[in-house]
Amino acid sequence: MPKYLAICFFFTMYFSASAQHLRPHDIPQLRLSDFQAPVKTDAPYPVYMNVRILYRLDSIYIIPEQTYRLKVITMVVPYAPGSFFDTKKVDAKQIPQLLEHERGHLIIGYITANRIEKELSALTYSADYPREVKKRFDDIERNLSYLHREYDAGTNHSTDGNNQKKWNLKLKKMFEETYGGK
């Protein structure tokens, strides 16, 4: 029995110590080259950043009673083929401001990814873990999608400079909270 407890303690420490791997240095600065999709003619705004979150199962541990613990790793991708920037509708002076605003959407992706890693790595699964992980991943991603809408509304799609600064700080803090550091 003590050996079993030691193994459980090791896995608990491993999972809690290695949960969130995405840090601020991982978040790229955006450039116009990150927006490669054709501009949609019916788009309500001249800029759109498509952020994708991918995951993989890094480690799979079978624990008693045919249950599984997993280590989930995420990756956030600013998906250029799905992102557009209409430089014809945007004054050149506004480009840095809009790129910074779109980077906020990318940061929300990183916040979501770290939360996904933490939550999915903390759960116990059945032998049907691939389906269970996918469902939980989709649920978390859907539940956090409100942040994008709140961010756009709060900054008036970057046109409210004072609120954009507040949101930049808020997103920075939210991201730091996902990995417990600065």
pLDDT at residue 181 in the model: 63
Q: Residue 25: its pLDDT value, please?
A: 86
Q: How far apart are CA 106 and CA 113, in angstroms?
A: 10
Q: pLDDT (tens digit, 9 = 90+) per residue, 79-95?
A: 999 999 999 999 999 99
Per-residue pLDDT, 8: 40
Helix (H, G, I), strand (E, B) or coil at 158: coil
Q: Answer whether residue 18 shows pLDDT above 50.
A: no
pLDDT for 135-172, tens place per residue? 999 999 999 999 999 999 999 999 999 999 999 999 99
* Helices and strands: H and E segment counts in the chain: 5, 5
pLDDT for residue 7: 39
Structure tokens at 77: 């991708």
CA distance 138 to 53: 10
The pLDDT of residue 66 is 86
Structure tokens at 5: 């407890």
Q: For all residues of the chain together, what is the average pLDDT?
A: 88
Q: Is the pLDDT of residue 29 over 60?
A: yes
